[in-house]
A and B are shown apart, each in its own frame.
Chain A
Amino acid sequence: MSSSLEKNMLILRSSDGEEFIVPEVVAVMSKAIKNMVEDECASNTIPVPNVDANILAMVIEFCKKHDESEAEAASDLKTFDSEFVNRGQEALYDLITAANFRDVKELLDALCQNVAEMIKGKSVHHIRIQFLGYQLFEILTSNFIWNIWCDRDFD
């Protein structure tokens, strides 16, 4: 185990080579890292492939906040969560991939909830173009009638 560092600190290395010094308590919020630490196959530095420095910094920020405020009021944490996940689609997807890959449950929960809120009130048209990558002409030409039928209200 990482006994050489004071106070059980771990070093996480992102895919583009940047290093972050993180307390072990925070790092083990990711189950993947926790397993590595428990199996004692981790040296001082733990490589985190597929996750770049930007995203890793965000994930660490989230974990730190959650670790600190465990005793604090849950409502504060909730507002922090909703502000934290309120980002563009690009960053959101990167975060989701990182959270899923590293198995950070709280973060994944908050992110999935956010995406669910995003797509909740949208029409099938909208979903297809914005989230599923259909082209507009595809929809208009190939199955126009089908789409009208899909969009009918279920009330």
Chain B
Amino acid sequence: MERLLPELPPEVITEILSRLPVKPLLQFRCASKPWRSLIDSPNFIKMHLNRSIQSRSNLSLILYDFNAPIPNQLCSVDFDKLDIAFKINPPLTFEKRLDKVWNSCNGLLCLSFGEGQAILWNPSTRKHLELPVSLTETPVDFRGVLVNLFGLGYDSVSDDYKVMRIARINDYRLVSDDYKVMRVARINDYRFVHYEVRVYSLKSNSWRKVGDFPHHLELNLCTGLLVGGALHWSVNPKPMLHEDGPHALIAFDLGVEEYRMVSLPECGAVDFCLKFAVLNGCLCVLHYYLKKGVDLWVMKEYGVKESWTKLIYIEQSNIRFAIYLEPLAYSKNGKKVLFQHNFRTFCWYDLEKKTIEMVGINGEPDHFGTTVCLGSLVPLDGGRLDDSKDQATKDKKKEKVIRSYDFLSKESCCCKPLLEGARRC
């Protein structure tokens, strides 16, 4: 007779199970009752999450096809293998068209649909939560353009997941009542733009208005980047200069819900294009020099200006469209960095040999955007587990009782005509 796992001390069992990916864990929930309660416990979920982050395992890439033939479809690629792109379906119906995949945090994805509505989705456990509707306050006779931007983050102070929504309201009426002038008013004309910011908290399941956005957003450089418990947005502090204005990065701290500026690296050069990204939990800046190449700067220690270091320099001659490189993640041994290239392919950059190697994936879309997502068991009930569970079981019991009544009444209904028919005969 072989010896069995339950003979081992419980902390060792926890240790073993926390090393498994999400899929087998979901299956093993059904293996025995102790395992089920272990896998469902919040402590285990946190332990599993921390281990995945530390060992850089359970990562997957979520691809969003820009020219998808079918709406509401995404692809998922296992980061360790990088071989096949699987089709996955987000929990949206035909009426609710997927608008954009925003960032991901601890295995949760933030998707937006419709007019300023969002959904949180854990692709590994297939659980989702539709956030309550909260419309942006606009004037009654509002004529203009409304753009909603979302960012998801984790607030470690209150142990809560928060979604930040910036509504960028471009009000043409402020220009003039004249239709012709309104048409001329450029969409990016900063004078006619104002912002409304709301924060959703998963624990309270509600939206709340917070302090207005202090600067003007630069939409094309980056959208909500989650680093160190804060969401980062690129802004243009001197909008009147229009193009080539000094770019800056603003952080919205999800804990204290305040804005602060982030210092950028000083490299001496002037003529470059900027782009921001996140790599392994560190803030990155890409400097693109025309016809020369791309620098990748990494802020190794968050919030310390001196810790900006130049990690990679790629020459233009090595790769075409170097401006469209976007760093995604380190390889497991930390010697390579995966880039998304030109919205069409992936490539590895070897940090030691300084070479570029293209990666081909089966079934990848032609033109896509990528989000790195961790596989985790993070639930979407915001710690309201106990109450809701009790409530759910109660509801189920009630439903059963009601159903049985329904059944009786239906039976009696069926019987009546029969009886009547019999009488007639």
Where the two chains meet, the residues of A that have a C-beta atom closer than 8 Å to any C-beta of B are 89-90, 93, 96-97, 100, 108, 112-113, 115-116, 119-121, 123-124, 127-128, 130-133, 146-147, 149-151, 154-155
- Rounded to whole Å, the gap between the CB of B81 and the closest CB of chain A is 14
Residue of B nearest to A147 (CB): B30
Which residues from A are CB-within-8-Å of B16? 112, 115-116, 119
B27 touches A151 (CB 8 A): yes
Chain B residues proximal to chain A, CB less than 8 Å: 2-9, 11-12, 15-17, 19-21, 23-24, 26-28, 30-32, 86, 126
**Chain B residues within 8 Å of A150, by CB:** 27, 30-31
In whole Å, how far is A32's beta carbon from the nearest beta carbon of chain B?
A: 14
Contact B8 A93 (CB under 8 A): yes
Task: Determine whether the beta carbon of B30 is less than 8 Å from that of A112.
Answer: no
Tell me if A132 and B6 are in contact (CB < 8 A).
yes
Rounded to whole Å, the gap between the CB of B34 and the closest CB of chain A is: 9
| Interfacial chain A residues near B126, Cβ < 8 Å | 154
Q: Are A100 and B32 in contact (CB under 8 A)?
A: no
Cα distance A81–B15 in the bound complex, in angstroms: 18
CB-nearest residue of chain B relative to A152?
A: B27
Contact A97 B9 (CB under 8 A): yes
Other than the given A97-B8, A154-B126, 4 more pairs (CB < 8 A) read: A112-B16, A132-B5, A132-B6, A155-B86
Is A154's CB under 8 angstroms from B26's CB?
yes
- Whole-angstrom distance between the Cβ of A107 and the nearest chain B Cβ: 12
Cβ distance A126 to chain B, nearest Cβ, rounded Å: 10
Smallest CB separation, B28 vs chain A (Å):
6
Q: Are the C-beta atoms of A116 and B19 separated by less than 8 Å?
A: yes
Q: B2 and A130: CB pair below 8 A? A: yes
Contact partner of A131 (CB less than 8 A), chosen from B5, B19, B23, is B5
Closest CB of chain A to B155's CB: distance in Å? Answer: 30
**Complex formed: what's the CA distance from A46 to B31 in Å?**
41
Are A112 and B7 within 8 A (Cβ)?
Answer: no
Chain B residues with CB under 8 Å of A89's CB are 2-3
The winner among A130, A133, A151 for most chain B CB atoms within 10 A is A133
B4 contact set on A, CB distance < 8 A: 131-133
For A132, give its contact among B15, B26, B31 (CB under 8 Å): B31
Cβ-defined contact, B2 with A124, below 8 A: no
A113 to B5, CA, bound (A): 14
Closest 5 CB pairs of A and B: A150-B30, A116-B19, A133-B4, A131-B5, A112-B15
Contact between chains at B21 and A120 (CB < 8 Å): yes
